[in-house]
Amino acid sequence: MEQYAIKGGNPLVGEVEIGGAKNAALPILAASVMTDETVYIENMPDVRDTNVLLSAMENIGVIVKRTDRHKVTLNASNISELVVEDENIKKIRASYYLIGALLGKYKHAEVALPGGCDIGCRAIDQHIKGFRALGADVKIEHGLIKTQAEHLRGSHIYMDVVSVGATINIMMAAVMAEGTTIIENSAKGAGTDVIRIKGVSHLHGTEYAVIPDQIEAGTFMFAAAVTKGDVTVKNVIPKHLESITAKLLEIGCEVEEADDCIRVVASKPLKHTQVKTLPYPGFPTDMQPQITVALGLSKGTSIVTESIFENRFKYVDELTRMGASIKVEGNTAIIDGVSRYTGANISAPDLRAGAALVLAAMSAEGFSTVDDIRYIERGYEDFHLKLQGLGAQIELIETERDLQKFKLKIG
């Protein structure tokens, strides 16, 4: 079984290139089935979740060509199947984007119910509410969401919770509905929570570059904080990182911004703070474990409140085994900073928590191993290689012998 072997204690120093955002790439891939013309996508991250979606799309007849590691062309003029039941597709959350895309274009879709990281009850009632409002029948049978419509008609939809996935999914169906759709209380990616869509009868091909991954960038920015390092994240949009930058400044890091890069220097002891996760532009839930790892090493008592997913503190047990002093009460973690973590054998419980535990291991005294790294590979491309590039002592290992070799090499 693959694991990371890590010897902690090195400050991370240097520059790291940030890839395209997984969570932006996934709906863009799904949306490309909505046109019969070719779509060219650049800055596509080469991570497990995007690859699983691409292979499910190939299985229903989309012609997928990877022209290089980060470029893909897609042509969906010969879709042969509107039932997406791929064995792997159940494992990713974003499978649900194919429902909105296929429903919009073909007025029919049957897609295996979504999986994804186990971070809380991940309802899809808002997606279903939106499809129904547009005139579709929706039922869940035999593990599939089945949806069908004679015609889709524009509608006025008020979302009960702010949901990234439901907003995107309803937008995809609505762009091919007759008339106008208004989505209120939507996720604020476009800077507003009211989205108006005038439906069209067909869509054409395009070229598109996926935006930089703010969570990958934020993870490396916090890697600088927890290892007392000096890291520059390159190819980022600083505006998308404002909530993360603000917290790094609050806890005592220095942050320098340029057009498309940010440097984080952690030369002073970290300070405590309070943080609550919120929908964008608030502090992202996908950065909650990483900031908790940093606050675990900060002077004083910090409070982290998770307001998006109710089960996102599972990693705290692992962090406690590394010496952290954290008490979780409901959706709040009360953190008493300690002066250092100590290495341990730990498991990644999900994608972001897995990455955060790797940061903890890099700051810790001594050796750690992190297993279940398949979760981390869902969303971080070449994670250990990028960390090595910053001077981290981390290696991908498979056997006890590899671990012994790593220990001998590192000393």
Query: Which residues are near ligand EPU by CB under 6 A?
Result: 23, 26, 93-94, 117, 121-127, 161, 163-166, 285-286, 308-309, 351-352, 379
Give the pairing of strands 13-17 and 230-234.
parallel
* Minimum distance of ligand EPU from residue 23's CB (angstroms): 3
* Minimum distance of ligand EPU from residue 365's CB (angstroms): 29
Q: Are 321 and 346 in contact (CB under 8 A)?
A: yes
* Minimum distance of ligand EPU from residue 323's CB (angstroms): 26
- Angle at which helix 214-226 crosses helix 242-250, to 10 degrees, equals 10
CA distance between the termini of the chain: 23
Q: Which residue is nearest to ligand EPU (CB)?
A: 165
Catalytic residue among 117, 121, 253, 261: 117
* Minimum distance of ligand EPU from residue 94's CB (angstroms): 4
Question: Is the CB of 147 or the CB of 163 nearer to ligand EPU?
Answer: 163
Neighbouring-strand partners of residue 229: none
Question: Is the CB of 140 or the CB of 410 nearer to ligand EPU?
Answer: 140
Question: Is the CB of 253 or the CB of 376 nearer to ligand EPU?
Answer: 376
Known catalytic residue at 253? no
C-alpha closest to that of 187 among 201, 199, 171, 175: 171
Question: Is the CB of 160 or the CB of 398 nearer to ligand EPU?
Answer: 160
**How far apart are alpha carbons 257 and 408 in whole angstroms?**
40
Which residue in the block uniquely carries the two structure tokens 């060509």?
65
Question: Is the CB of 94 or the CB of 326 nearer to ligand EPU?
Answer: 94
Q: What angle do CA 321, 326, 330 make, to 5 degrees?
A: 120
- Angle at which helix 125-133 crosses helix 164-175, to 10 degrees, equals 20
* Minimum distance of ligand EPU from residue 330's CB (angstroms): 14
> What residue type is 269 in one-letter code?
P
Active-site residue set: 117
